[in-house]
């Protein structure tokens, strides 16, 4: 801190806190969290709100697919566009028909001579 600082120095004994064990912390004045509170809570990951209707997954996509959606989204929010495209594809074609087509395409790629 420099002399021009308007911040007061902390009165917290950080050394004591660093050495404190979990069982030494007095939680008696902290009320239990109810199921209702959890249901109303905003779920955040990395500080950003996360919809409870969405599930985080890791998938591999072709580079050109990612490049296409990033270009469409201007670099931000492309995952939302991918999600919307997948939902639209399911609505339009039906999941069973879509799955059969994708499996046929994947099998035909494996059958091509190298």
For 71-107, write each residue's pLDDT tens digit: 999 878 899 999 999 888 878 877 778 788 888 888 8
On the CB side of 113, how many CA atoms lie within 13 Å of its CA? 0
For 7-44, write each residue's pLDDT tens digit: 678 888 889 988 989 888 888 898 888 888 888 888 78
On the CB side of 28, how many CA atoms lie within 13 Å of its CA? 2
Containing H/E element for 40?
helix 35-40
């Amino acid at each position: 801190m420099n002399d021009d600082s308007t911040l007061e120095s902390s009165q917290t004994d950080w050394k004591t806190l660093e050495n404190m064990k979990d069982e030494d912390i007095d939680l008696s004045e902290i009320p239990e969290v109810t199921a209702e509170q959890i249901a109303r809570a905003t779920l955040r990951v990395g500080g950003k709100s996360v919809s409870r209707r969405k599930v985080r997954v890791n998938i591999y996509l072709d580079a050109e697919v990612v490049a296409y959606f990033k270009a469409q989204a201007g670099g931000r929010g492309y995952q939302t566009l991918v999600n919307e495209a997948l939902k639209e594809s399911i609505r339009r074609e039906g999941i069973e028909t879509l799955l059969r087509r994708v499996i046929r395409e994947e099998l035909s790629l494996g059958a091509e001579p190298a």
